[in-house]
């Protein structure tokens, strides 16, 4: 493919940063957004093909500024990667704070909707339009005490399938990626917190977290980025409307 124009939400850290780096290293132009200004600056400084802007995915007006500005900066949009999401609270439904519920859906589901609806006109003008949506193992299975996260991530799967049907005639492919536990500072902090709370060792908490997986290690963000590269490439030209797990063979969300 010729140099593509790629927009990635929450692109300054974790999966988003790895994906931005992967596309940029292939020669594509990448425009990211994030709320973390320091991380955004570091990501932009990491490669000359990466540019970025601050944007709050729960703020529709901010998204309505970001997407056209991204398209102007890049000269169009060929690939949209909806990566932004928040994990939300941990509580059973009967004790779930309604404001916390709405805050999670505002970013994970409504934010993705708003970015996508604004990007579609630009993608229709592309010769190889692609949308990739980051869901989760928590969107494939029920997730006790994580209802807003699970429901929002499940909703993204229906959104993916609907978009694929709506946009197929325009040659736009739409797929979802559903990672399991992703390696990095975030999961290590969570495990350390669990170990401190439970009195168990970090190794014990790690083994418990991986007990629902066939492969006993966390997902490398670089592998998720590589999957996005494949889905956006000509090798993925016949794949649309699919959810692709990358979760070590998880059977439940935990």
Residues with a catalytic annotation lie at 149
d(CA 163, CA 108): 16
- Structure-token match 């439904």, residue found: 93
> Read out DSSP for the chain?
----EEEETT-SSHHHHHHHHHHHHTT-EEEEEES-HHHHHHHHHT-TTEEEEE--TT-HHHHHHHHHHHHHHHTS-SEEEE--------B-GGG--HHHHHHHHIIIIIIHHHHHHHHHHHHHTSSS-EEEEE--HHHHS--TTBHHHHHHHHHHHHHHHHHHHHHGGGT-EEEEEEE-SB-SHHHHHHHHHHHHHH---HHHHHHHHTTT-SS-SPBPHHHHHHHHHHHHSGGGTT--S-EEEESSS-SS--
Partner residues linked to 8 by β-bridges? 32, 81
């Amino acid at each position: 493919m010729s140099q593509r124009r790629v927009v990635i939400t929450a692109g300054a850290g974790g999966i988003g940063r790895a994906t931005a780096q992967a596309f940029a290293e292939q020669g594509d132009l990448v425009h990211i957004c994030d709320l973390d200004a320091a991380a955004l600056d570091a990501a932009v400084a990491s490669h000359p093909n990466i540019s970025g802007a601050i944007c709050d995915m729960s703020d529709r007006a901010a998204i309505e500024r970001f997407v056209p500005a991204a398209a102007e900066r890049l000269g169009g949009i060929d690939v949209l990667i909806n990566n932004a999401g928040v994990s939300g609270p941990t509580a059973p439904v009967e004790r779930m704070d309604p404001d916390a519920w709405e805050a999670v859906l505002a970013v994970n589901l409504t934010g993705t909707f708003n970015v996508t609806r604004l990007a579609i006109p630009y993608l229709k003008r592309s010769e190889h339009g692609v949308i990739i949506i980051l869901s989760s193992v928590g969107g494939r299975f029920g997730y006790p005490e994580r209802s807003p996260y699970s429901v929002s991530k499940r909703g993204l799967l229906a959104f993916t399938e609907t978009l694929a049907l709506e946009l197929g005639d325009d040659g736009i492919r739409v797929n979802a990626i559903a990672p399991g536990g992703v390696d990095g500072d975030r999961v290590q902090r969570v495990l350390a917190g669990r170990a401190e709370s439970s009195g168990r060792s970090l190794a014990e908490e790690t083994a418990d977290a991986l007990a629902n997986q066939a492969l006993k290690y966390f997902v490398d963000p670089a592998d998720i980025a590589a999957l996005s590269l494949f889905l956006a490439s000509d090798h993925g030209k016949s794949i649309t409307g699919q959810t692709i797990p990358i979760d070590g063979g998880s059977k439940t969300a935990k």
